[in-house]
Amino acid sequence: MFFDSHLHLESDSFDLDREAVIKRAFDGQICLMVNVGSDLETSLKSVELSKSYSGRIFAVVGFHPHEAKFFDSNSYKAIKDLTSLESVLAIGEIGLDYHYNYSPRDVQINCFKKQLLLARELGLPVVIHMREATKDTISILEEFNAESIGGVFHCFSGSVDTMKKVVSMNFFISFAGPITFLNSHKLRDVVKETPIERILVETDSPYLSPVPFRGKRNEPLNVREVVKAVSEIKKIELNDLKSILCTNLLNAFPKLKLFKNNCLFDCLS
């Protein structure tokens, strides 16, 4: 069995065939998916998916740095209210993106800090987006004693040194399609150096399709290619790796342990 720890099924890229994409994933042994919000609208859609596919699709709710300019007291309350649902596993995806700067940097930082505070208050992990903002991201996490919060750095693209730093702060490292790219030597070195008990896998669908699907819309079924790449890089037999990854996902998102019949436990049996 496989899982996809980070995707965006609510994206309009799936409006014409969402149910078929989900069925294709389930038929291909993708037993569990974590759908991640980027703002209030997509967080609400993530929750609806988690209700429609109870125990198979879970939600993460929050404001992406791109959408930080729209984060206000009303959206804060709405996100907080959503976390009361059992299927909502974490706050995310939150963080900083200095590549596009769709929201001003000071606004991004303020939004990031408020959501970290919320996560700490609620005892939930966070899902971190970090692009060209390593120094500020790490500094803010240290300021907020993020080791007591924990969570996942999704679609990790940082250095070995950055990986070691965030792992020391109680975070998991999630890898996506880029580790399959021919020119991804540095990133594959990061995979090699990351402790196996801290690795997760994802697609970030509909983005970042792995080889051999580059240039096409990504979908959860393709997480199998990411798992195969990790297996090759870490030199771990595929079935053994699946079991390790299932354990890691349960540890990264403790609320999953409330769902005793979910497929992660089958993977471990």
Cα 215 to Cα 95, 174, 178, 199: the distances in Å are 27, 21, 12, 26
pLDDT digits (tens, 9 = 90+) for 162-220: 999 999 999 999 999 999 999 999 999 999 999 999 999 999 999 999 999 999 999 99
Residues 189 and 184: their CA atoms lie apart, in Å, by 9
- How crowded is residue 214: how many other Cβ atoms within 10 Å of its Cβ? 14
pLDDT digits (tens, 9 = 90+) for 118-128: 999 999 999 99
Structure pTM?
0.97
pLDDT digits (tens, 9 = 90+) for 145-156: 999 999 999 999
Of 266, 250, 258, nearest in space to 34 by CA:
250
Cα 20 to Cα 6, 17, 52, 206, 265: the distances in Å are 19, 5, 14, 14, 26
Domains of the chain: 2-268 (3.20.20.140)
pLDDT value for 6: 98
